[in-house]
Chain A
């Protein structure tokens, strides 16, 4: 529908830039190349997600016709859902809609999938990002300290935290945190999702409550949203702490024992310069890689945390859609995740070049 105009307007905007960019901005060209590379991936995802949802056991028509439906009403529902058409035709209809930016209609929520995703993805992203910032804030310093003082109490603390983080399932940590901080101590707010019912949602700009509330200058709501965020974010942070801390420690150990650090020490550089200027910068590459993996993993896998804290995120949306064979919703979720990961990989690649200029895009 309107996508045609969007495409043409963006093209119109980039046309004067293009000749300049190719010549003068190798990084921009590299980004464009990267984006182009991801197109086959996205096409593959579209095809596979379509086929996979169709091979799911279960008949959405029978499900949505309700428990007391007879054959005739199931057939009516099947027709209404367009599931009576041959598979190949269904696929082309789906792709046609997709071209127009239409992800289809979710049967279970009765709303366009794009609307559902737009309301739920920010909730998951806000939670995941907060948890990751929190976990990086703890895990990276801890990893560095553990690496610089192997065998010390910091190292042991790191090991204990990491083991606990890995071995405690998130729903368990979540319930324990609720039990202690909400039920017993009464410090935490009611675990009722993103905002207690006495607040109104902030006006939607980004969908991130903290950002939207701040944009409105509504600090009361901001505080409300932040309070709701603390426990689930800690739960997820505990879970993501382990890989980041382990990777930081290992990468720092490798870096600290390498030749260039010995050279730097011999040259009499200060301890801080050696540690943060040379060792940490080199150790960052694997850490960033891990971070990317942890992020993508967490976003999809925090269903359990979402359930425990009544968080209206994308994970529980996908699971519910899957349970009722809501094809459009499942496909929309897979596609959104695929696009997100493509973007994420791009960001990580860009980060690589920023961290280590030796890794150029020119080499690929």
Chain B
């Protein structure tokens, strides 16, 4: 098992002599040549198996780097510089090609004939089926994510022969193929997994938690929970171009100040997910990539359960009172994208979009005056302590502005472990900050989670019959359908008029590099080490 690797059995692991070298005793700076990259991150990897209950977000990177999916997303240039995944281009990973039937219900994949797992076994359609069955059967997050693409039951997957895999959908959906490119439906070496499964644990959760068995670009060389994960390149990878670096060390360093010193000195080549403040300051010295996170918006949410917020004029007053620019500078240090001061008329279907609102206290006062609450009211403004780095400054600025229009907002800080229950499950916070971002980058997907009644991220208890119908209609509709764009525009119009969520800004994912190149932003906000090279 990876965590119990000692020097002795590590050497016995059958590594070629040369590949072991840099870890023997002391190998000074030479070890950090073009072959090895060191990345520091504040997050801790707690499992090597994404499907396990309790696996945290940071661990998704193992699914990305060590396993393959049938398909993946392409790469595009980001306007502000740097690279990003491209939602609109689906590229093959394990699949060589695929065809979709006329009715859109059957997708047939041909698997690359030369694809092999790390142990040399051929990747077969049977492996894909076993892995997909696992993803829809284990429950929890993986099953929910599979459902987004219309994949719910094992009988939807069929291994026709060793290289042909067929998915049958209950209804055609534009989300089905993109949902196969998210980290969840990764392909496991089913022979190895089954050999380590027990009757209590038919999906080999215990085994794969510590020991990945995949076909991906990197293998896990060592994993010390709470300290580091070492990836080693799989030279036989066929899922894409073989990575340029032989080894990537992901080291866990909780303190942002320490991470900053390390990357600034160049002792590590990358610091992943750095605070906005460090990003703003480091950008002068080394390479910093701040990519606005697609389909993600930091919002101020007005809960319709709270009586004053049922008044449309009050919601508008709040929207005009919010000091957008100050929040963007104080909470995000200008990293990300502004989402205020746009045109009221909706001409495109880009989301997130700039709202027609901007800071105008006089206008806000006017709306308050004609509302049912001209003398104002009191309301708690809730924030999560886990997200205090942006929520606290934003909340303070909002509190100050709301005071000017007669709304007394008391800031209520909620511990991270309670936040989800209070904000998303019970949906009981009258006024709060929220940060939902959708993995699948279509506006209807965002609306599905954040604006449909009863859905998890609709923390404002918003319900609008037209929105319900529009989201249901557009969710699985192809984006080139002539009906799609008008419906989406109508959805934008309604929610920006009703304002259950007041968009503040689009946050950014910040990554600092010093001697590493090829960084690519991914919607899952974890590090894809495959395209990296030493620079």
- Give the residues from 102 to 143 in chain A that come closer than 8 angstroms, CB to CB, to chain B: 107-111, 115-116, 119-120
| B230 nearest CB across to chain A (Å) | 8
Q: Please, which residue of chain B has its CB at the minimum distance from the CB of A320?
A: B44
**Contact A192-B139, Cβ < 8 Å, known A64-B53, A178-B257, A310-B251:** no
Interface string of A45-66 (1 = CB under 8 A from B): 0000000000011110011111
CA A59 to CA B253, docked complex, whole Å: 27
User: Taking the complex as formed, is A309 at the interface, i.e. its CB lies under 8 A from any CB of chain B?
Assistant: yes
B residues in contact with A65, CB < 8 Å: 53, 140-141
Give which listed residue, B26, B56, B139, B417, contacts A77 with CB less than 8 A.
Answer: B139
Q: Please, which residue of chain A has its CB at the minimum distance from the CB of B26?
A: A220
**Contact A198-B26, Cβ < 8 Å, known A58-B417, A111-B225, A182-B261:** yes
B residues in contact with A182, CB < 8 Å: 261, 265
CA A323 to CA B425, docked complex, whole Å: 18
Which of A201-209, A242-250, A336-344 is near enough to bind chain B? A201-209
A residues in contact with B56, CB < 8 Å: 108
User: Taking the complex as formed, is B144 at the interface, i.e. its CB lies under 8 A from any CB of chain A?
Assistant: yes
Give which listed residue, A69, A175, A178, contacts B141 with CB less than 8 A.
Answer: A69
- Give the residues from 231 to 274 in chain A that come closer than 8 angstroms, CB to CB, to chain B: none
Interface string of B247-268 (1 = CB under 8 A from A): 0010111110110011011011
CA A169 to CA B140, docked complex, whole Å: 42
CA A194 to CA B251, docked complex, whole Å: 12
User: Taking the complex as formed, is A97 at the interface, i.e. its CB lies under 8 A from any CB of chain B?
Assistant: no
Contact call B226/A317, Cβ cutoff below 8 A: yes
**Contact A190-B262, Cβ < 8 Å, known A64-B53, A200-B10:** yes
CA A57 to CA B251, docked complex, whole Å: 31
Which of B1-9, B109-117, B149-157 is near enough to bind chain A? B1-9
| B29 nearest CB across to chain A (Å) | 9
User: Taking the complex as formed, is A316 at the interface, i.e. its CB lies under 8 A from any CB of chain B?
Assistant: yes
**Contact A224-B26, Cβ < 8 Å, known A110-B54, A192-B251, A197-B228:** yes
Contact call A203/B53, Cβ cutoff below 8 A: no
CA A266 to CA B264, docked complex, whole Å: 65
Give which listed residue, A194, A198, A308, contacts B23 with CB less than 8 A.
Answer: A198
User: Taking the complex as formed, is A153 at the interface, i.e. its CB lies under 8 A from any CB of chain B?
Assistant: no
CA A12 to CA B513, docked complex, whole Å: 61
B residues in contact with A203, CB < 8 Å: 6-8
Contact call A73/B144, Cβ cutoff below 8 A: yes
B residues in contact with A356, CB < 8 Å: none
User: Taking the complex as formed, is A298 at the interface, i.e. its CB lies under 8 A from any CB of chain B?
Assistant: no
A residues in contact with B44, CB < 8 Å: 320
Contact call A190/B267, Cβ cutoff below 8 A: yes
Q: Please, which residue of chain A has its CB at the minimum distance from the CB of B141?
A: A66
User: Taking the complex as formed, is B535 at the interface, i.e. its CB lies under 8 A from any CB of chain A?
Assistant: no
B residues in contact with A320, CB < 8 Å: 44
User: Taking the complex as formed, is A24 at the interface, i.e. its CB lies under 8 A from any CB of chain B?
Assistant: no
**Contact A198-B28, Cβ < 8 Å, known A175-B257, A191-B261, A193-B251:** yes
CA A63 to CA B141, docked complex, whole Å: 11
Q: Please, which residue of chain B has its CB at the minimum distance from the CB of A189?
A: B267
Q: Please, which residue of chain A has its CB at the minimum distance from the CB of B449?
A: A68
Contact call B261/A66, Cβ cutoff below 8 A: no
Q: Please, which residue of chain A has its CB at the minimum distance from the CB of B28?
A: A198
CA A320 to CA B251, docked complex, whole Å: 17
- Give the residues from 216 to 265 in chain B that come closer than 8 angstroms, CB to CB, to chain A: 224-228, 230, 249, 251-255, 257-258, 261-262, 264-265
Q: Please, which residue of chain A has its CB at the minimum distance from the CB of B439?
A: A68
User: Taking the complex as formed, is B421 at the interface, i.e. its CB lies under 8 A from any CB of chain A?
Assistant: yes
A residues in contact with B249, CB < 8 Å: 197
CA A325 to CA B416, docked complex, whole Å: 10
User: Taking the complex as formed, is B518 at the interface, i.e. its CB lies under 8 A from any CB of chain A?
Assistant: no
User: Taking the complex as formed, is B291 at the interface, i.e. its CB lies under 8 A from any CB of chain A?
Assistant: no
Contact call B254/A183, Cβ cutoff below 8 A: no
B residues in contact with A179, CB < 8 Å: 261
CA A274 to CA B46, docked complex, whole Å: 58
| A214 nearest CB across to chain B (Å) | 15
CA A64 to CA B424, docked complex, whole Å: 15
Contact call A201/B7, Cβ cutoff below 8 A: yes
Give how many A residues have a beta carbon under 8 Å from the other chain's beta carbons. Answer: 64
B residues in contact with A81, CB < 8 Å: 53
CA A351 to CA B336, docked complex, whole Å: 61
Contact call B22/A183, Cβ cutoff below 8 A: no
User: Taking the complex as formed, is A150 at the interface, i.e. its CB lies under 8 A from any CB of chain B?
Assistant: no
| B233 nearest CB across to chain A (Å) | 17
Contact call A120/B26, Cβ cutoff below 8 A: no
B residues in contact with A306, CB < 8 Å: 254
**Contact A67-B22, Cβ < 8 Å, known A109-B46, A179-B261:** no
Contact call B251/A76, Cβ cutoff below 8 A: no
Contact call A56/B417, Cβ cutoff below 8 A: yes
Give which listed residue, A77, A110, A197, contacts B209 with CB less than 8 A.
Answer: A110
Contact call A70/B227, Cβ cutoff below 8 A: no
- Give the residues from 173 to 189 in chain A that come closer than 8 angstroms, CB to CB, to chain B: 175, 178-179, 182-183, 186
- Give the residues from 303 to 357 in chain B that come closer than 8 angstroms, CB to CB, to chain A: none
CA A33 to CA B6, docked complex, whole Å: 40
User: Taking the complex as formed, is B295 at the interface, i.e. its CB lies under 8 A from any CB of chain A?
Assistant: no
Interface string of A278-319 (1 = CB under 8 A from B): 000000000000000000000000000011111010001100
CA A307 to CA B44, docked complex, whole Å: 12
Contact call B415/A62, Cβ cutoff below 8 A: no
B residues in contact with A108, CB < 8 Å: 46, 54, 56
**Contact A198-B31, Cβ < 8 Å, known A65-B141, A108-B46, A178-B258:** yes
Contact call B421/A62, Cβ cutoff below 8 A: yes
B residues in contact with A316, CB < 8 Å: 226, 254
Contact call A59/B140, Cβ cutoff below 8 A: no
User: Taking the complex as formed, is A218 at the interface, i.e. its CB lies under 8 A from any CB of chain B?
Assistant: yes
**Contact A186-B265, Cβ < 8 Å, known A193-B227, A325-B417:** yes
**Knowing that A199-B26, A220-B26 are A-B contacts, what are 9 other residue pairs whose CB atoms are under 8 Å apart, sorted by A's residue number?**
A65-B53, A67-B456, A68-B141, A68-B449, A73-B141, A111-B3, A120-B226, A203-B6, A316-B254
Question: Can you list 29 contacts pairing A with B, beta carbon distance less than 8 Å?
Answer: A56-B417, A57-B417, A65-B53, A66-B140, A67-B141, A70-B144, A73-B139, A73-B140, A73-B144, A77-B139, A109-B46, A109-B226, A110-B54, A110-B55, A110-B209, A116-B225, A183-B261, A190-B262, A190-B268, A197-B38, A197-B228, A199-B23, A200-B24, A200-B25, A201-B224, A220-B26, A221-B25, A309-B258, A310-B227
Q: Which residues of B contact A (CB under 8 A)?
A: 3, 6-8, 10, 22-28, 31, 38, 40, 44, 46-47, 52-56, 139-141, 143-145, 209-210, 224-228, 230, 249, 251-255, 257-258, 261-262, 264-265, 267-268, 386, 415-418, 420-421, 424-425, 449, 456
Which 7 A-B pairs rank lowest in CB-CB distance, beginning with the nearest?
A58-B417, A66-B141, A310-B253, A76-B139, A64-B54, A107-B54, A307-B254
